[in-house]
Structure 1
Amino acid sequence: MKKTLSIVIPTFNEEKNIAHLVNELDRIMSLTEYDYEYLFVNDGSKDDTMAALKTVAWSNPKVYYIELSRNFGKDYALKAGMDMAKGDAVITMDADLQHPPQLLPLMLKYWEDGYDVVYTYREESNPHAGSFQKMASKMFYKFINRLSDLTLENGISDFRLMDRKVVNEIQKITEYEIFFRGMTKWVGFLQMGIPYTPAARHTGEASYSFSKLLKLAVGSIMAFSVKPLYIATGLGLFFSVASLLYVPYILISYFCGFDAISGWASIIATVAFFGGLQLLVLGIIGSYLGKIFIQTKNRPNYIVRSTNMVQKHDIVKL
């Protein structure tokens, strides 16, 4: 009996990439010995992505779509696709063709060799990334590796293959602000990393801005580590001890009759510095409390507006 593969593809404003991606995947997958399906998750696109998906799904029985009620974010779109995937293995990839479909046979080979997770990471010599993008990427992964309990390769991507037993464990996770690149590492199992050179985007532009990347970095660290709280505690302890060093100066000045020279500038600077430090520490603590507050609401990670999965499976049964 053939093994089955579910290829999960989150989409956001990718109307011009859908048909081309399906053609490329069909060309590669037709050379393999697997049954397969494509699960496109439309994450609140503002263009005609949904219309493009319906058109392709009408002509290709292997194409399924899941339309979310709004834009929940890429990781939640991935979660939606993985929750509905039925394959013996699940492959996740982007819709812009920067993740080369030509790499799928190698990923499948490692899976057949016994690896439970086969993930990819970008090579340093990425010809399609600018200097700022490369620097920001290095800073992101260095930052998260230092402050979290995970070790992620620079440029690790959402192009990966996961065995069914890994997917079953991830399906149980319902936490707030999922970070799949870290979550896949966290679950463990036998993993293999493959370097790759991203292709140029077929059409469109990257949707991640600097502010989104910064938010992603902070959220990812807090999702896997409490080290920022330890750092805040250490800062408070350090400055508390440092302030005690001022006591001998006060005593000596008092008993020896030295006149202390008052300076408004130094006083204001000191007050502003420690005030800012306190706000920073409170902000870190507040962020963790905020995550706990949102998590206790137990809201769903995503809401599905429409899908053709039920209809197509019903047709197959008939």
Structure 2
Amino acid sequence: MPTENKPEVLSLVVPVHNEEDTIDIFYQAIQDVKNQVKAEIDFHFIDDGSTDSTLSILRKLSDKDSHVHYVSFSRNFGKEAGLYAGLEQATGDYVAVMDVDLQDPPELLPEMLKEVQSGDYDAVGTRRADRKGEAKVRSWFSAQFYKWMNKISQTHLVDGARDYRVMTRQMVNAILAMSENQRFSKGIFTWVGFKTKYIPFENRERVAGNTSWSFWSLTKYAIEGIVSFSTMPLTIVTFLGMFTFGISILAGMFIVIRALISNTSVAGWPSMVTIMLFIGGIQMLSLGVIGRYIAAIFMETKRRPIYIAKEEK
């Protein structure tokens, strides 16, 4: 905690990837609310292997403002690695995680920090109250993910929750203690506990540029979240195996009894092929689910670093 003569510091962690169009706009938006924030603000931009002018802009911004710091990765490691690196670099008494595209409203920052500074909460997060402007299919799948994730996991995820939040130093240290390679921050933020409040806001479009999150990348991210915080798929596979085994026993008994009674052989090729395809499909599905968990174990046992920094200031 800060001394009496030293002002409190709020560190902003901002992962960026090919965001040359948004960085300056974001920086100015924070300046506009800076006087309302009762703490000194410093910036920690994490350049996740951008291929545009992102790094050049960060260099110029850092030269102009001593409160702007950045880390540039040697390649693209993903947003989760960027979040972890930013939390590692942040030195403030409080830490905020924000997206650079201004889909996270900067004007909420003073209220969020005030709630945490009061001591009533360890973190104040945000959640989207609606999904206006988002594709309906994408919104539906997102809603289903939160719904089923909360059913199969002991870690409760707030529907529409954003990574945008202000946290105490104690909570940040707890998150950093979880140095796992397969990261799902939304789950980690919840798993570590601490008293958290969520502020709803209306969905916003990007201020500029294009998102790097495709439907497929979001699907993979959702799968990582399920694997990281639930073993229910393995339980389902176990029950499927037991079910198909039971059906096969009953079917075998039926065939044997019918053969003894009627003493005739029935060709039954369509039904046989159907059964074989059904059981084979169940087996492949089961192997796929188990394989995904094994892959996660494999990646963890390698103990590779979450990210590699090429340049920082």
* TM-score range for the pair, normalised by the shorter chain length: over 0.9
Q: What residue is the counterpart of 1:199 in the other structure? A: 204
Q: What residue is the counterpart of 2:161 in the other structure? A: 156
CA contact (8 A) 1:41 1:67 kept: yes
Q: Give a deviation string over 1:171-198, Cα, whole Å, max 9, x none.
A: 1221122111110000001111111123
Per-residue deviation, 1:61: 1.7
Unaligned runs of 5+ in 2: 1-5
Q: Give a deviation string over 1:26-57, Cα, whole Å, max 9, x none.
A: 12122223112000000011211111111111
Counterpart among 118, 123, 134 of residue 124 in structure 2: 118
Q: What residue is the counterpart of 1:313 in the other structure? A: none
Q: What residue is the counterpart of 2:258 in the other structure? A: 253
Q: CA 1:143 to 1:210, structure 2 compared with 1: closer, same or farther past 3 Å? A: farther
Q: What residue is the counterpart of 1:132 in the other structure? A: 137
CA contact (8 A) 2:37 2:113 kept: no
Aligned counterparts of 2:46 and 2:146: Cα–Cα separation in 1 = 27
Aligned counterparts of 1:256 and 1:140: Cα–Cα separation in 2 = 51
Q: What residue is the counterpart of 1:285 in the other structure? A: 290
Aligned counterparts of 2:263 and 2:221: Cα–Cα separation in 1 = 54
Aligned counterparts of 2:96 and 2:108: Cα–Cα separation in 1 = 11
Aligned counterparts of 1:260 and 1:99: Cα–Cα separation in 2 = 69
SS of 2:14's equivalent in the other structure is strand
Counterpart among 98, 105, 119 of residue 100 in structure 1: 105
TM-score (norm 1): 0.93
CA contact (8 A) 1:2 1:33 kept: no
Q: What residue is the counterpart of 1:241 in the other structure? A: 246
Q: What residue is the counterpart of 1:311 in the other structure? A: none
RMSD: 1.4
SS of 2:262's equivalent in the other structure is coil
CA contact (8 A) 2:181 2:305 kept: no
Q: What residue is the counterpart of 2:51 in the other structure? A: 46
Q: What residue is the counterpart of 2:23 in the other structure? A: 18
**Is residue 271 from structure 1 mapped to residue 307 from structure 2 by the alignment?**
no
**Is residue 230 from structure 1 mapped to residue 235 from structure 2 by the alignment?**
yes
Per-residue deviation, 1:260: 4.0
Per-residue deviation, 1:281: 0.8
Aligned counterparts of 1:63 and 1:198: Cα–Cα separation in 2 = 28
Q: What residue is the counterpart of 2:3 in the other structure? A: none
Structure 1, 274-283 or 127-136: larger mean CA deviation: 127-136
**Is residue 73 from structure 1 mapped to residue 78 from structure 2 by the alignment?**
yes
Aligned counterparts of 1:154 and 1:190: Cα–Cα separation in 2 = 17
Q: What amino acid maps onto 1:66 in structure 2? A: V
Aligned counterparts of 1:132 and 1:269: Cα–Cα separation in 2 = 32
Q: What amino acid maps onto 1:113 in structure 2? A: S
Q: Give a deviation string over 1:109-164, Cα, whole Å, max 9, x none.
A: 2102321111111112x332232222121122123223322221221111011110
Q: Give a deviation string over 1:239-267, Cα, whole Å, max 9, x none.
A: 11122222442233122125242222221
SS of 1:256's equivalent in the other structure is helix
Aligned counterparts of 1:194 and 1:214: Cα–Cα separation in 2 = 26
Aligned residue pairs, count: 307
Q: What amino acid maps onto 1:123 in structure 2? A: A
Per-residue deviation, 1:88: 0.8
Provide runs of 4+ in structure 1 moved above 3 Å: none
Aligned counterparts of 2:37 and 2:281: Cα–Cα separation in 1 = 59
TM-score (norm 2): 0.94
Q: Give a deviation string over 1:54-111, Cα, whole Å, max 9, x none.
A: 1111112211111011110001101001011111111001010110100101111210
* Percentage identity across paired residues of the two chains: 38
**Is residue 89 from structure 1 mapped to residue 97 from structure 2 by the alignment?**
no
SS of 1:202's equivalent in the other structure is coil
